[in-house]
Amino acid sequence: MKYTFILLCCIGWHTASAQAGNDWIQQKIDSLVNSKAIPGIIVGISDRGVRRYYSGGFANKGTRQPFDAATQVEIGSITKTMTAYLLTAVLQEQKISDTTAIGSYLPDSVRTNLSVSAIQFVELMNHTSGLPRLPENISPTVQNPLQPYAAYGPEQLYAYLAKAIPDSTRKVSYSNLGAGLAGILAARISGLPYEQLLKKYITLPFGMQHTDTSAAPGRPFSTGYYNDQPAEYWTMHVLKPAGGVKSDAADMLNYLEQLIRNQQSAIVSSITTPTASLNKRILVAKGWHILILPNQPSLLWHNGGTFGFSSFCAFHKESGIALFLSVNAFNKNNIGDAFGIEIMTKLLQHP
């Protein structure tokens, strides 16, 4: 996930003219595919509960399988928003403040590192923990360099944290490690594995039947592409709370619609309230990022990237508009993120 594209996108918002209806969305998709900028894309929009889907290219270039609302993809770092939700739910149930230091909930081997023990739960969720983007002792497996997380387990993680020295400035600095640790602590406190927490707090109550840390068997799924070659879905092992969820467009709209419907609940209110600031235009909540729009409601958003997919989601609490899109290729967030924000902005300006 990167922040820099947002400021570039802002420049063109008010110069783009809205076309009649939403035909322009399909036209833009067709243009991206025909120019070979992307192999395929699925876009799902919920406009006050009314859904529309747009797609182009192929979910699998070899079989020429098209995308639809049920096609599974990797959502990458959008997983972090779910991790923030379930950790917040666990903390509220256990009556633990999110400003509590995490030390008491860490293994003994890590607890003695006072600089890590002093980190607060909220700092794991809003990227102010001072922990680096990734632990320094992680490396791709020799057998498969396209699976960078598969061999990284709890032993390596705790060995790193026992000696880690977080940045004491506590500025916003994006951390997969911090988000992963948030999910690990939710599991340690609750006594439930991450997958069960995901099911208990999100996928079961939100009606997301095909969302999990592994692809749902028997369901259509997209092939992801890394430099035009098929890429396996990531096995993220201990850091799965940072980016290990697989889902589809229909389930992801369920997710976003539930957040909109339940925005007054204690959990949703907590995770969507700003807790830090990157700059004047971008605030940071718990798991979510907030883009301040001129004369418009704030946009809550997150993106995600794996070696096979570039995904984006966003929603406006006030308008009830939500969007999820996924491109089945590595490092296409500059395209997907800008397109997603363009769609959301035009829907707000011309409902």
Residue 286 contacts residue 120 (beta carbons within 8 Å): no
Exposed e or buried b for every residue in 56-79, given b needs 16+ CB within 10 A? bbbbbeeeebbbebebbbbbbbbb
Rounded Cα distance, 323 and 252, in Å = 9
Q: What is the pLDDT of residue 70?
A: 98
Q: What is the pLDDT of residue 351?
A: 61
CATH of the domain at 18: 3.40.710.10
Residue 41 contacts residue 56 (beta carbons within 8 Å): yes
Q: What is the pLDDT of residue 295?
A: 80
Range 195-198, long-range pairs (CB < 8 A, 24+ positions):
197/86, 197/90, 198/82, 198/86, 198/245
Retrieve residue 77's tokens. 């770092």
Which residue, among 92, 94, 101, 121, has the nearest Cα to 286 in the 3D structure?
121
Q: What is the pLDDT of residue 1?
A: 46
Which SS3 state, helix, strand or coil, does residue 217 take? coil
- For residue 284, count CB atoms less than 10 angstroms from its CB and return exposed for 0-12, middle for 13-18, buried for 19 or more: buried
Q: What is the pLDDT of residue 142?
A: 56
pTM above 0.75, yes or no: yes
pLDDT per residue, tens digit, the chain (351 aa), is 444 444 333 323 222 333 346 799 999 999 999 999 999 999 999 998 899 999 999 999 999 999 999 999 999 999 999 999 999 999 999 999 999 999 999 999 999 999 999 999 999 999 999 999 999 999 766 568 889 999 999 999 999 999 999 999 989 999 999 999 999 999 999 999 999 999 999 999 999 999 999 998 999 999 999 999 999 999 999 999 999 999 999 999 999 999 999 999 999 999 999 999 999 999 999 999 999 988 877 999 999 999 999 999 999 999 999 999 999 999 999 999 999 999 999 998 876
DSSP state of 118: T
- Parallel, antiparallel or unpaired: strands 289-291 and 224-226: unpaired
Q: How many residues does the chain have?
A: 351
Residue 326 contacts residue 335 (beta carbons within 8 Å): no
The number of folded domains in the chain is 1
- The enclosing H or E element of 111 equals helix 108-111
Q: What is the pLDDT of residue 18?
A: 35
Task: Please identify which residue in the block is written with the tokens 């959502």.
Answer: 75
User: E strands, the chain, where?
Assistant: 40-47, 50-57, 73-74, 224-226, 229-231, 246-247, 276-277, 282-284, 289-291, 299-305, 310-316, 321-327
Its domain, for residue 135, covers 4-349
